[in-house]
Amino acid sequence: MKQPLWQRTPLQFPIKKCQGVALITVMLIVALAAVLATQMTARLQLQMQRTANIEFNQQAYWYAMGAEAFAKRVLITTFEDEKDVTHLEQMWAQGETSYPVDFGQITGEIFDMQACFNLNALRFDKSKVPAGTKNPVAQDAFIELIISLGVEGVSQFEAEYMADALIDWLDKDSAIASAGGAEDNDYSAKEFPYLPANNYLASVTELRLIEHFTVPVINKLKDYVCVLPNTNLHEINVNTLNSEQPELLQALLDIPLEDAKQALSGREGEGFKTVNDFFSLTEIAQHKISAERKKQFVVDSQYFKLKSSTSFNNSYFSLSTLMKVEDNNSISVVSRTIGRE
Element of type H or E holding 297: strand 297-298
Q: Using one digit for the tens of pLDDT, what is the confidence trace for 155-183?
A: 999 999 999 999 999 998 888 878 888 89
Residue limits of CATH 3.30.1300.30 in the chain:
48-113+302-338
Mean pLDDT is lowest, of 94-98, 135-139, 239-243, 332-336, for 135-139
Position 132 pLDDT exceeds 50: no
pLDDT value, residue 3? 53
Enter the pTM of the model.
Answer: 0.83
| Reduced 3-state DSSP string for 217-276 | HHHHHCCCEECCCCCCCCCEECCCCCCCCHHHHHHHHCCCHHHHHHHHHCCCCCCCCCHH
- CB 144 within 8 Å of CB 247: no
Position 147 pLDDT exceeds 80: yes
Mean pLDDT is lowest, of 169-183, 277-291, 292-306, for 169-183
Position 152 pLDDT exceeds 50: yes
Rg of the chain in Å (alpha carbons): 33
CATH code of the domain occupying 117-296: 1.10.40.60
- Its sign, for the CA torsion 176, 182, 186, 188, is negative
Q: Put the strands of the sheet holding 97-101 in their side by side order.
A: 97-101, 104-112, 303-312, 315-325, 331-338
pLDDT value, residue 14? 57
Quickly name the fold that domain 48-113+302-338 has: Pantoate--beta-alanine Ligase; Chain: A,domain 2 (3.30.1300)
Residue limits of CATH 1.10.40.60 in the chain:
117-296
Q: Using one digit for the tens of pLDDT, what is the confidence trace for 39-64?
A: 888 887 788 778 777 888 999 999 99
pLDDT value, residue 49? 74
